[in-house]
Amino acid sequence: MSDLSQDVGCYLIQRLYDYGVRHVFGVPGDFVLGFYQKLIESNKLKVINTCDEQGAAFAADAYARVNGLGVLCVTYCVGGLKVVNATAQAFAEKSPLVVISGAPGINERIKNPLLHHKVRDFDTQQKIFEHITIDSVLVNNPRTAAKDIDRVLTSACRYKRPVYIELPRDKISIPIYQEQYVGSSKTAKVEEGDDIDSMQEALAEATTMINSSKQPVIIAGVEIHRFGIQDKLLQLTDKTNIPVASTILSKSVISEDYPTYIGVYEGAMGHQSVREYVESSDCLILLGALMTDINFAISPTPIEQSKSIYVTAEKLSIKHHNFENVLLQDFLASLIQAPLTRKDFVVDRKQDNTRNNSNNKRFLVARNQKITVKRLFERLNFSISDNTIVIADVGDSLFGALDLTIHGQTDFLSPAFYCSMGFAVPAAIGAQLANPMLRPIVIVGDGAFQMTGMEISTISRFGLNPIIIVLNNNGYGTERPMLDGPFNDILAWNYYRIPEILGHGRGFVIQTEDQLEASLSAAEKIYSKELCILDIRLDIHDGSPALQRLTESLGKKVH
């Protein structure tokens, strides 16, 4: 229970602490300096300041994905409006990100003066954030401040979407008014009743459908992870022996070593064996999956609605009819209790190269052989352990990474639906601070690196030790097969020399397979405590097989 005899700033800090938050990401500015001072004085939440606000936002988003809630703290407009894109990504991909923005004091807003950092009206920033958050509040009333803050944080957790809290600088130190509000318990439990009758009917129908099916398959989506119900998913597959596929956005929602796991379903872009299994299934059980074009390999979607049970945190559909007020968490819990019969088939996984590569073979280095995307990922698979988390940026970093076998749960992060470039390097900061037991392996294209890669400065400053793999092919490799032009080229940087700019870390330039082997080996053994950056010199037209399939599909739509 929080100490309520405190001011607004301290109350907010305490509530975030109650939710398990230990770090706040941001860049200070005059309208938020007072709150920054409270953060330091509280000694509860560590301030991680990044180079640019965009980096802080991606870091906080990654922290949210790993920790369950992430917090970004920026100044008014010049800070807040720099993170609109990253917040939009958190909204699209259901990441519970709390955006705290300093703001001019309420008493400074009288007569609407032109204060610095102001765009149009004093509420312009809040209005913009209303489009990309699930809840927001301007904290300006001591009588409702505690309740408002609690409501917004509850919304973030209930919907797994970003929220916005605006703190006018003259309201940070006002006392919380206690009489009308006794505070909420540790993390306010949301009481939202399912509709019992709808649930019973849906459950009966789903049970019949599953029991009578010959080849059912579970597609486990990202909400399984966001709501932390992986254990229920495991119970369901254990009980029924129904195989589980993930989506590109939910890769690693369960361990990819799990016996009933068959791989990432990714339509035409994914592995043929998974595709065939899913698309010939007579009962698709879609649990918390977002039906995006990327998750389902662009289009047209091969998922047949007439064979589907589709449940998310927001809706439940069976075949072509919908049930109101029956939500993922409760439906899944009820399904485990339902009279489902155990399937006794065995899934043939021989076609799945991924698993074969990582579990059964050694990587044989071809000396002086020029490194390729395909071989790079084959080798990286051997660097993945229980103590790594793979973070893939957009583009071939992601598509190539689909072939990696992730051992743990939630040990793979990528903005695989919204697809904002530049996520991966700053995300490593958030992910590793959220779980210091994991060493991030960051896979990032050179184009994405040039956007936010200099956040390795923040990585250095806070003593983190990711291994950063830069796919260096002088441009936007994903776009080239769609439509090429000089706009897809970028300047060639000597990425491996960036540690010399920072005075921290180790850089490696890699042209051949043996150089890759030596560098990864050094990064893992000799420089295991340091940031390492591997500058992988790839052929400009090289790409993973998945990329080739994707761009063929996308390229048709460019014109």
Nearer Cβ to a second copy (160/379): 160
Nearer Cβ to a second copy (55/243): 55
Q: Which stretch, 368-376, 464-472, 477-485, 519-527, contacts a second copy (CB under 8 A)?
A: 477-485
Residue from the set 68, 70, 105, 543 that interacts with a second copy by CB under 8 A:
105
Establish if 531 lies at the interface with a second copy (CB under 8 A).
no
Q: Are 455 and 57 in contact (CB under 8 A)?
A: no
Cβ atoms within 10 Å, residue 258? 16
Nearer Cβ to a second copy (162/216): 162
- CA 432 to each of CA 63, 256, 338, 422, 459: distance values in angstroms, whole numbers, following the listed order: 8, 21, 39, 17, 10
Establish if 426 lies at the interface with a second copy (CB under 8 A).
no
Establish if 140 lies at the interface with a second copy (CB under 8 A).
no
Which one, of 434, 310, 439, 422, lies nearest residue 384 by Cα?
439
Cβ atoms within 10 Å, residue 379? 18
Question: Distance from CA of residue 275 to its chain's centroid?
Answer: 24
Residue from the set 117, 171, 226, 379 that interacts with a second copy by CB under 8 A:
117
Establish if 556 lies at the interface with a second copy (CB under 8 A).
no
Establish if 308 lies at the interface with a second copy (CB under 8 A).
no
Residue from the set 51, 174, 336, 518 that interacts with a second copy by CB under 8 A:
51
Q: Map the footprint of a second copy across residues 310-339, applying CB under 8 A.
A: none
46: which strand partners? 23
Q: Which stretch, 200-208, 336-344, 353-361, 415-423, contacts a second copy (CB under 8 A)?
A: 415-423
CB of 12 to a second copy, least distance (A): 16
Q: Which stretch, 149-157, 269-277, 355-363, 418-426, contacts a second copy (CB under 8 A)?
A: 418-426
467: which strand partners? 441, 532
196-211 helix and 328-337 helix, angle to the nearest 10 degrees: 50
Q: Which stretch, 64-72, 80-88, 149-157, 334-342, contacts a second copy (CB under 8 A)?
A: 80-88
Cα–Cα distance for residue pair 519/41, rounded to 1 Å: 42
- Tokens matching residue 270: 């994914």
- Tokens matching residue 8: 């607004």
Establish if 508 lies at the interface with a second copy (CB under 8 A).
no
Residue from the set 13, 15, 19, 28 that interacts with a second copy by CB under 8 A:
28
Which one, of 341, 412, 302, lies nearest residue 62 by Cα?
412
Query: How many chain residues are in contact with a second copy, going by CB under 8 A?
Result: 88
Residue from the set 193, 339, 436, 486 that interacts with a second copy by CB under 8 A:
486
Establish if 36 lies at the interface with a second copy (CB under 8 A).
yes
Nearer Cβ to a second copy (78/188): 78
Q: Are 67 and 21 in contact (CB under 8 A)?
A: yes
Report the side by side order of strands in the sheet with 70-74. 46-49, 23-26, 70-74, 97-103, 163-168, 135-138
Q: Which stretch, 34-42, 265-273, 308-316, 359-367, contacts a second copy (CB under 8 A)?
A: 34-42
Q: Map the footprint of a second copy across residues 232-291, applying CB under 8 A.
A: 290-291
Q: Which stretch, 138-146, 254-262, 317-325, 497-505, contacts a second copy (CB under 8 A)?
A: 497-505
Residue from the set 47, 182, 204, 333 that interacts with a second copy by CB under 8 A:
47
CB-based burial of residue 530 (10 Å sphere; 0-12 exposed, 13-18 middle, 19+ buried)? middle
Q: Are 536 and 470 in contact (CB under 8 A)?
A: yes
Task: Report CA dihedral (93, 123, 69, 292) to the nearest 10 degrees.
Answer: -10
Q: Map the footprint of a second copy across residues 170-199, applying CB under 8 A.
A: 172-173
Nearer Cβ to a second copy (59/92): 92
Q: Are 37 and 173 in contact (CB under 8 A)?
A: no
Binding mask 381-410 for a second copy (x = CB under 8 A): ------------------------------
Q: Which stretch, 111-119, 202-210, 405-413, 508-516, contacts a second copy (CB under 8 A)?
A: 111-119
Establish if 309 lies at the interface with a second copy (CB under 8 A).
no
Nearer Cβ to a second copy (236/471): 471
Establish if 221 lies at the interface with a second copy (CB under 8 A).
no
Cβ atoms within 10 Å, residue 190? 10
Gyration radius from the chain CA atoms: 24
Q: Which stretch, 28-36, 251-259, 363-371, 514-522, contacts a second copy (CB under 8 A)?
A: 28-36
Which one, of 212, 213, 158, lies nearest residue 189 by Cα?
158
Nearer Cβ to a second copy (91/508): 91
The dihedrals phi and psi of 451, each to the nearest 5 degrees, come to -80, -50
Q: Are 373 and 401 in contact (CB under 8 A)?
A: no
Q: Are 455 and 429 in contact (CB under 8 A)?
A: yes
